[in-house]
Structure 1
Amino acid sequence: MANGDSTFSEMLKGFGSMGDAADFAISKIQVVQIFLMIMVVVLYKLLILPWRGAKKKQLFDELVRLRDLTVTIPRDNVSKDAGEDGFLTEKEICFFEKNGYLPPFQLVSEEQAKNLRREAEEAFADDFEGVSYIGSKIREIEKRHGQWQIESAGLYQALRMRPFRELLRNPKLSHKLASLLGEEVMCWRSQFFDKFPGAEGTIWHQNATFRETGKYAKLQPTKDTDPAVIQLTAWVALSESTVENGCLRFLPGSFGDARMDFLYSFAQDNKLFYIAQLPFSFTYFFNVFKIILFGQIFTKVMLIFLTAAKILGEDFFDKFKVKDLEMKPGECVVFSSLNMHASYPNTCKSNSRFSFVGRCTANHVRVAPGGKDIYSTAEGMVEYELPEVGNFQVYGKDSFGYNKILED
């Protein structure tokens, strides 16, 4: 980061403005919908917002409470000797408690990573044998708009592809997860990411319970759990990951400030009140509602990030330093999803960045108890049924029985 640059300006490298994020085609009917929403919010700002002082105070009091969170890993999480066969040492646990991630380590060889990538790409080319865990309606919409990619088609597909389940069960990884999450660890969602040449970056975001665009938190702990370790992400590079092709970026330690995650849920539950906090501009509000109503999921995340920065103040990021995480094929990084993270756009001409991700949690956490989720498509929000058996064991055995676990 150059002298004089703010952390916020460093974070925005590779991203455009709000107008750039809203630069996608919509129909005339959708334009009318946006105009109606702008009229509603203007009336709300003029007639109702002045009477909502107590609600505004409650919002900002909650934001203050979320500024200084900590994480403490129980040292008796596992009974094995520290440092043995992948289990974390005291020094490594302390590093995680301070930074919210573990540095990249070699999980499999480069050749094994290449073979796993090939298997995933071949499965996608065969449309995963017609199996879509997010339903046929979403698949049809995304295909109709040319947006059916492995990121959506590959959701939960490790439930069908044993090599990727075994990848997460590799002791080099599973023992690290057990050191942080405890004796019983499961994967509740698997994904593939193929950042092809020309692909946009993923804007900064954080997540504790993965409500996302749904109506409820997908992860609901049944024990007292620090928000930063409700779930951990195991991100495995199946290709080289560089600044040029879109590597991960972190704000180490930012799990201690969970305001962005809170605002993401608050904005969904209090849309008019949240938007009314923003200074009015017709063009700005047009773009805001265009993204809210018709943008894809990561575009909505960008909206939350940019609007939240207006509410929180851009300087709130300055206590953190951006870390770019370049990785080699076969390397893995484990991090708290409450740590703010992002990725660069892929500016290469022919080099894709391909990865596999396992999202892991302790078995005492109830996963998606509602059984449904909402997916953001080019034609609006679409509800779909989550997999009936959507979890598989990564370490230990399930003694809680809160979730359906794949038998394999």
Structure 2
Amino acid sequence: MTTTARSDFSLSDEEVASFHKNGYIGPLTIYTPEEMDEMWKAVRRESLDRTHAAYPEVDKGVGAPNIFNYDRHLDVDLLARHACNRRIVERVASLLGPDLLCWRSEFFPKYPGDEGTDWHQADTFANASGKPQLLWPGETEDNFGAGTLTVWTAFTDSTKENGCLQIIPGTHRQMNYDETKRMDFDESRINSEVKDGVPRGFFGYDYRQLQHDPDWKPNEEDAVSLVMERGQCVIFLSTLMHASLPNISTGKKYRMGFATRYVPTKVQIYPGTDHIEEYGGSISLEKWSAFLVSGRDEYGHNKISDKTLRGTPIHEA
């Protein structure tokens, strides 16, 4: 890890040690509930306009809406500001160093009646297409293991009833899945899977197809349910075993999470590909770009966004 100067929101040595032991830290408060309510109301309104979205159209596939909502930070200023929020970025820099890219963001809604998300880990994010989306220095398509840092922010209250995140601490040290294998997409799986008595699926895939050992099961007795108030976040390694509960709430108690994913500038993003192929859909990367949220890019591996707010580079605004 690159040593960085202490700042207002840097993690302490104890917090860094806890993160490396457990694979996550949080919940952390980024906004007050009132601030989050105001921001989410504005984001909902602004995100309806897809004129400048990175993915204005979907090429094909019934599962395409899952990738359709990627990277709205590239066209919605409030989400760009969120991705660069010092309360987030300075903590991420404590773990990854000062030169940081946000390479993806995505909404994670869960409405009443929606199934939970099955246990999974992600390293290169090749789990759907078979093509790595991330390569760290020294890694190849057959040799990897660093993953990405995900910051999952609760845009609404996240409870056990409406489908909060779950993690299994310490499981980031061993990958239980082989991302060089392929999963078969089947729309009929959505909201129809029950595993060990819990409605859980993976957006039309069966993540168990990637297991090294087909008979292995995660130890759910060690699972932690991450109940969060709106405006709070959790930072975790993508290689940490994580899942979510089903939304069994009544009425209109939906859960909305927003994930921003970070890597150092030395990481290659989408190497050797010009599209994303996931969830039965395919979208072009022509309008995609990585987003410099801190420091400098001295590597030139990736297309970097020139997005500004009132003429100021976004990570300096």
> Which TM-score band applies after superposition, normalised by the shorter structure?
0.7 to 0.9
Deviation of the 1:212 alpha carbon: 2.7
Separation in structure 2 between the aligned mates of residue 189 and residue 160 of structure 1, nearest angstrom? 13
Matched residue, 2:55:
133
Deviation of the 1:393 alpha carbon: 1.1
Deviation of the 1:227 alpha carbon: 6.0
Secondary structure of 2:211 counterpart: helix
Matched residue, 2:147:
230
1:364 to 2:266 alignment: yes
Separation in structure 2 between the aligned mates of residue 292 and residue 110 of structure 1, nearest angstrom? 38
Secondary structure of 1:374 counterpart: strand
Separation in structure 2 between the aligned mates of residue 406 and residue 97 of structure 1, nearest angstrom? 30
Aligned counterparts, 1:320-339, within 5 A:
321-339=222-240
TM-score by length of 2: 0.83
Separation in structure 1 between the aligned mates of residue 160 and residue 202 of structure 2, nearest angstrom? 20
Separation in structure 1 between the aligned mates of residue 160 and residue 171 of structure 2, nearest angstrom? 21
Change in CA separation of 1:112 and 1:128 when aligned onto 2, cut-off 3 Å: farther
Separation in structure 1 between the aligned mates of residue 144 and residue 293 of structure 2, nearest angstrom? 21
Aligned counterparts, 1:77-96, within 5 A:
77-81=2-6, 84-96=7-19
Q: Give the counterpart of 1:352 among 248, 254, 258.
A: 254
Asked if the contact 1:233/1:358 (under 8 Å) is kept, the reply is yes
Deviation of the 1:384 alpha carbon: 2.8
Q: Give the counterpart of 1:246 among 163, 169, 178.
A: 163
Structure 2 stretches lacking a partner, 5+ long? 191-200, 309-317
**Deviation string, structure 1 residues 98-142 (Cα, Å, up to 9, x no partner):** 100012111112122112222332245x3524846173333xx54
Asked if the contact 2:54/2:74 (under 8 Å) is kept, the reply is no
* Cα RMSD (Å): 2.8
Separation in structure 2 between the aligned mates of residue 160 and residue 216 of structure 1, nearest angstrom? 26
Change in CA separation of 1:307 and 1:153 when aligned onto 2, cut-off 3 Å: closer
Aligned counterparts, 1:97-136, within 5 A:
97-124=20-47, 126=48, 128-129=50-51, 131=53, 133=55, 135-136=57-58
Deviation of the 1:383 alpha carbon: 3.3
Count of residue pairs brought into register by the alignment? 293
**Deviation string, structure 1 residues 335-361 (Cα, Å, up to 9, x no partner):** 001001000111112211112110111
Report % sequence identity: 27
Separation in structure 1 between the aligned mates of residue 17 and residue 161 of structure 2, nearest angstrom? 32
Separation in structure 2 between the aligned mates of residue 306 and residue 172 of structure 1, nearest angstrom? 38
Asked if the contact 1:134/1:155 (under 8 Å) is kept, the reply is no
Change in CA separation of 1:79 and 1:307 when aligned onto 2, cut-off 3 Å: closer
Change in CA separation of 1:345 and 1:387 when aligned onto 2, cut-off 3 Å: farther
Asked if the contact 1:251/1:341 (under 8 Å) is kept, the reply is yes
Change in CA separation of 1:306 and 1:212 when aligned onto 2, cut-off 3 Å: closer
Asked if the contact 1:391/1:406 (under 8 Å) is kept, the reply is yes
Aligned counterparts, 1:289-304, within 5 A:
298-301=202-205, 303-304=206-207
Deviation of the 1:230 alpha carbon: 3.2
Separation in structure 2 between the aligned mates of residue 183 and residue 307 of structure 1, nearest angstrom? 34
Matched residue, 2:312:
none
**Deviation string, structure 1 residues 223-249 (Cα, Å, up to 9, x no partner):** 579966431001111110000000000
Asked if the contact 1:100/1:228 (under 8 Å) is kept, the reply is no
1:179 to 2:113 alignment: no
**Deviation string, structure 1 residues 240-278 (Cα, Å, up to 9, x no partner):** 000000000001111112022x2x43245xxxxxxxxxx
Matched residue, 1:53:
none
Matched residue, 2:289:
390
- After the TM superposition, which segments of 4 or more aligned residues of structure 1 sit over 3 Å from their partners? 129-132, 223-230, 291-297, 306-310, 317-320
Deviation of the 1:155 alpha carbon: 1.0
Matched residue, 1:257:
174
AA matched with 1:242? T
Change in CA separation of 1:152 and 1:117 when aligned onto 2, cut-off 3 Å: farther
TM-score by length of 1: 0.65
Change in CA separation of 1:299 and 1:238 when aligned onto 2, cut-off 3 Å: closer
Secondary structure of 2:95 counterpart: helix
Asked if the contact 1:295/1:376 (under 8 Å) is kept, the reply is no
Deviation of the 1:330 alpha carbon: 0.5
Q: Which one has the largest radius of gyration?
A: 1
Deviation of the 1:307 alpha carbon: 7.5
AA matched with 1:254? T
Deviation of the 1:399 alpha carbon: 1.3
**Deviation string, structure 1 residues 45-103 (Cα, Å, up to 9, x no partner):** xxxxxxxxxxxxxxxxxxxxxxxxxxxxx3xx23313xx31111111111011100012
Separation in structure 2 between the aligned mates of residue 165 and residue 335 of structure 1, nearest angstrom? 20
Q: Comparing 342-351 with 384-393, which one deviates more in the overlay?
A: 384-393
Matched residue, 2:132:
217
Separation in structure 2 between the aligned mates of residue 319 and residue 357 of structure 1, nearest angstrom? 23
Structure with the larger helix share: 1
